[in-house]
Amino acid sequence: MTTRIFGSGIRRREDPRLITGRASYTDDIKLPGTLHAAILRSPYAHANIKSVDATGAAGQPGVVAVYTGEDTDGVLNGLPCAWLIPGSDLKTPAHPAIAKDKVRYVGDAVAVVVAETRYQAEDALEHISVDYEPLDVVVSPKAAAQDGAPQLHEDVPNNIAFTWALAGGDTDAAFADAAVTVSDTITLPRLIANPMEPRSALAQWSAAMGELTLWNTTQNPHIARFVTCVVTSVPEHKIRVIAPEVGGGFGSKIPYYADEAITAFCSMKLGVPVKWTETRSENYLITTQGRDHIEEVEMAATSDGVITGLRTTVYAGMGGYLSTAAPGVPTILHGLMYSGPYNIPNISGTVYGVFNNGAPVDAYRGAGRPEATMLLERMVDLVAAAVGQDPAEVRRKNLIPKFENGHDVATGITYDSGDYESALDSCLSAAGYEALRAEQAQARADGRCVGVGVSSYVEICGLGPSQVAGAVGFQGGLWESAIIRFYPTGKANVMVGSSPHGQGEETTFAQIVAGELGVEVDDVEVIHGDTDNTPMGWGTYGSRTTAVSGAAIAVAARKIKEKSRALAAHLLEAAPEDIEYEDGRFYVRGSPDQHKTIQDIALMANVAWNMPEGMEPGLEASAFYDPPNFTYPFGAHIAVVEVDPETGRIDLQRYVAVDDCGVQINPMIVEGQVHGGVVQGVGPALWEGAVYDDDGQLVTGSMLDYALPRADLLPDIEVSSNTTPSPHHPLGVKGIGEAGTIASTPTVYNAVMDALRPLGVTRVDMPLTPEKVWRAINDARNGG
């Protein structure tokens, strides 16, 4: 029963090539005559370049060419920032691919060597001498915004790239009238995305054709083509970007990087293919990081725990330069979500985007929403503690009541649909919340340090209406397109502009077509990732691929169905309005035996022997889907932890997630996204945080120091879901890619704080590493 494929957890169609080691990622691709690039990177976080002498490298074994900023200056244009937040006095200082005069973070590119092998290219780097004049360094985004801080860019006073303000209601009055106010400063450290596949670029320039082909680890090949055109000046239609197999991205493969521009430059200069693949150490230094927020937050509430206001001042680190989408992350994707799932009538916030001497910061899984959810959920717990009520109950009394088609919040946006209380109830019930609290009381009586953390969340995803994108300064559209093409044998290709890289849409997209047209999933092949054979699209990020690209496929499939209905009517000699459709068959109403299958239709449309007057041959449809609104998935999560007060070590014992992402096309894949998302949010609560020292050197420079979640540190995640369809989406879908990451950081953080509360500990900065927890316990014991 093919139609039932939609909504079932069938195994993924992309897996056979992956589990057998037969898939080709960028670094796996070999072109004859390929040369290898290695990039010399600044060891200083902030320095003037007085001179670069590359002559020593030129004669090294295997070296074909060495280029510096002098060579690229005027040939490569600067890297553009593509999210120009309006009304924020945004400054976009130049971002050259290879630094010529000044470096602004450790890892800034200074020169490139092209050699016959990567080993040789690395050897030659050691023979380039650069005379640096070190400058003062600033790492903290708040410190960077102060008068007298070292200035990264001449025309950016106080390093403030932009100031974005938000106001809804009358926040000052809310705080003046509040019976209860709580406040805290929340630090969200820099996070390193760590897709397991390092970034890579392979450029092949054809001088004869004036064509550039770029294999690239990107989440959005069409955007990469557009920006490659901007940076290299090769016309857009002469550039082909191919995202082959891509090994995870989590946002870090959205931006356009200097490295791919440099690789393309080298190929264009030398006329041969050139490949560059980052080492993991390079990845830690140069690939965009996430978060880097210092959030000063206050919440106002009644004595009964009803929230009346929220006020924030946020310093968001941008790193040395503005990455492609960076300004949109701590503003549009962050501040607009300050109401969360709660009724908060009065909200105001100011966000400073600040240059600091570190890797550029951009979208990282959740992008802005984890930072918003963290501060909200922290404040709600503080309110609960202040009014002496259970944190779950305080959440319940503030949740927006169930709505099915639109709810406006004080930040000015309209949620699509929500049933937040049901999600909370489901989660409390799945976790056995009352029993948990009883067990906790017993554990405390036994001298054990057990904590239960609760959080509710709503997120904005399915980005988004293009008109809104334009209004908020995004330098592109946010629609998606799809082409469905049936062949004479009844098999079909679906070409999409989005570019999944692990999310399984080769399967879910085929399930959509199967569901809409009654064909077998195996008769549908999804093509993505190559700008030469896919229609335009804006990429895979922001939990938007199934939501937006999937909708385009559904719309295209419905066009196919209507043409098929007309052709079936013609072949069955009936009126189109008398044709019924069921499960891949078109039949005359009342005579199911008189039918044409979709395969019959595909054959006839392709041979076109007998078409109705005026109907074009072929069975193909394309659709451009521009969503009317964002989608707003939501849920509630609970974590149980035990802290060892002697050491400060934390044991995450249980994690319960209830998510509502609307209609699910493949529940197995949805669950997998929740597992991975939750764990990626547990990381920053307990282990992950990039640390730069006062000189701007990355102390956590490898996987030896930056603690990623490992299998043996985690419990099984207990996952379940509710279904509240999106009212405006053709399939009722919302999106699930980021939900877990958004919810789990505050859930685990709140659990640990809950465990530590009897010891008198009220706050600890993330990540909650053992020593920090141990110190907080000792400080509290010693009277704070």
Partner 1 sequence: MTVPVEITINGKACSGEVEERQLLVHFIRENAGLTGTKVGCDTSQCGTCTVQLDGVSAKSCTVLTVQASGSSVTTIEGISDGVDLHPLQEAFWNNHGLQCGFCTPGMIMAANELLSKNPSPTREEIRHGLEGNICRCTGYQNIVSAVEDAAKAMGGR
Partner 2 sequence: MFPAQITYHRAGSVAEAVQLLSDNEGAKLLAGGHSLLPLMKLRLAAPAVLVDIGRIEALKGVSASGGGITIGALTTHAEIASSDLVQQHAPVLAEAAALVGDPAVRNRGTIGGSVSHADPASDQPTVLAALDATFNVTGPGGDRSIAAADFATGLLENALAENEVLTSISVPSVPSGAGSAYVKFPHPASRYAVVGAAAVLAVSGGACSSASVAVGGVETTPVRASSVEAALAGSDLSDAALDAAAAAVAGDLNGDAMGDVFASAEYRRAMAAVYVRRALGAAASRAG
- Contact yes or no for 667/733 (Cβ under 8 A): no
Q: Does 712 bind partner 1 (CB under 8 A)?
A: yes
Residue whose token pair is 């340090």: 449
Name which of 736, 700, 748 is nearest 283 in CA terms.
Answer: 700
Separation between Cα atoms, residue 415 and residue 256, nearest integer Å:
31
Q: Does 25 bind partner 2 (CB under 8 A)?
A: no
- Contact yes or no for 479/774 (Cβ under 8 A): no
Q: Does 678 bind partner 1 (CB under 8 A)?
A: yes
- Cβ at position 122, least distance to partner 2 in Å: 4
Among 707, 714, 759, 780, indicate the residue that binds partner 2 (CB under 8 A): 707
Residue 310 or 678: which CB sits closer to partner 2? Answer: 678
Q: Which two tokens stand for residue 367?
A: 């992008």
Q: Does 194 bind partner 1 (CB under 8 A)?
A: yes
Q: Does 708 bind partner 2 (CB under 8 A)?
A: yes
Q: Does 506 bind partner 1 (CB under 8 A)?
A: no
Which entry of partner 2, partner 1, none binds 75, CB below 5 to 8 A by partner kind? none
Residue 189 or 709: which CB sits closer to partner 1? Answer: 709
Residue 314 or 717: which CB sits closer to partner 1? Answer: 717
Residues near 717 by Cβ (< 8 Å), separated by ≥ 6?
A: 655, 656, 657, 674, 675, 678, 679
Residue 123 or 506: which CB sits closer to partner 2? Answer: 123
Q: Does 19 bind partner 1 (CB under 8 A)?
A: yes
Single out the segment in contact with partner 2 by CB under 8 A; choices: 3-11, 76-84, 702-710, 724-732.
702-710
Which entry of partner 1, partner 2, none binds 774, CB below 5 to 8 A by partner kind? partner 2
Q: Does 558 bind partner 2 (CB under 8 A)?
A: no
Single out the segment in contact with partner 1 by CB under 8 A; choices: 174-182, 192-200, 324-332, 451-459.
192-200
Q: Does 305 bind partner 1 (CB under 8 A)?
A: no
- Contact yes or no for 728/627 (Cβ under 8 A): yes
Residue 12 carries which side chain, given as an amino acid letter? R
Mask of contacts with partner 1, 451-490, x by CB under 8 A? ----------------------------------------
Q: Does 653 bind partner 2 (CB under 8 A)?
A: no
First to last CA, the chain: 66
Q: Does 36 bind partner 1 (CB under 8 A)?
A: no
Write the DSSP string, 196-231. Answer: SSPPEEEEEEETTTTEEEEEE--S-HHHHHHHHHHH
Write the DSSP string, 586-635. Answer: EEETTEEEEEEEHHHHHHHHHH-SS--TTPPSSEEEEEEE--SS-B--EE
Mask of contacts with partner 1, 541-560, x by CB under 8 A? --------------------
- Cβ at position 472, least distance to partner 1 in Å: 30
- Cβ at position 400, least distance to partner 2 in Å: 38
Q: Which two tokens stand for residue 611?
A: 């078409």
Separation between Cα atoms, residue 605 and residue 57, nearest integer Å:
62
Could you count the other beta carbons within 10 Å of the beta carbon of residue 270?
17
Q: Does 33 bind partner 1 (CB under 8 A)?
A: no
3-state SS of 338-365? CCCCECCCEEEEEEEEEECCCCCECCCC
Site for partner 1 in 579-598 (CB under 8 A): none
Name which of 315, 456, 444, 434 is nearest 379 in CA terms.
Answer: 456
Separation between Cα atoms, residue 608 and residue 605, nearest integer Å:
5
Q: Does 12 bind partner 1 (CB under 8 A)?
A: yes
Q: Does 448 bind partner 2 (CB under 8 A)?
A: no
- The three-state secondary structure class of 55 is helix
Which entry of partner 2, partner 1, none binds 15, CB below 5 to 8 A by partner kind? partner 1
Which entry of partner 1, partner 2, none binds 700, CB below 5 to 8 A by partner kind? partner 2
Separation between Cα atoms, residue 9 and residue 778, nearest integer Å:
49
Single out the segment in contact with partner 2 by CB under 8 A; choices: 106-114, 117-125, 209-217, 598-606.
117-125
Could you count the other beta carbons within 10 Å of the beta carbon of residue 470?
14
Residue whose token pair is 């030129």: 58
Q: Does 694 bind partner 2 (CB under 8 A)?
A: no
Q: Does 509 bind partner 2 (CB under 8 A)?
A: no
Separation between Cα atoms, residue 54 and residue 128, nearest integer Å:
5
Single out the segment in contact with partner 2 by CB under 8 A; choices: 81-89, 384-392, 579-587, 698-706.
698-706
Could you count the other beta carbons within 10 Å of the beta carbon of residue 116?
15
C-alpha to C-alpha distances, 312 to 9, 89, 303, 381, 621, nearest whole angstrom: 42, 19, 21, 16, 48
- Contact yes or no for 225/243 (Cβ under 8 A): no
Q: Does 119 bind partner 2 (CB under 8 A)?
A: yes
Q: Which two tokens stand for residue 508?
A: 């879910």
How many of the chain's residues bind partner 2 (CB under 8 A)?
28
Which entry of partner 2, partner 1, none binds 646, CB below 5 to 8 A by partner kind? partner 2
Site for partner 2 in 608-647 (CB under 8 A): 646-647
Residue 143 carries which side chain, given as an amino acid letter? A
Residue 107 or 672: which CB sits closer to partner 2? Answer: 107
Name which of 456, 458, 451, 455 is nearest 654 in CA terms.
Answer: 451
Q: Does 714 bind partner 1 (CB under 8 A)?
A: yes
Q: Does 245 bind partner 1 (CB under 8 A)?
A: yes
Which entry of partner 2, partner 1, none binds 771, CB below 5 to 8 A by partner kind? partner 2
Could you count the other beta carbons within 10 Å of the beta carbon of residue 172?
13
Q: Does 527 bind partner 2 (CB under 8 A)?
A: no
- The site for partner 2 (CB under 8 A) is made up of 118-119, 122-123, 279-281, 646-647, 649, 687, 691, 699-700, 702-708, 710, 713, 769-771, 774-775
- The site for partner 1 (CB under 8 A) is made up of 9, 11-12, 14-25, 27-28, 30, 119, 194-198, 245-248, 250, 279-281, 501-504, 668-669, 671-672, 675-680, 702-704, 708-712, 714, 716-717, 740
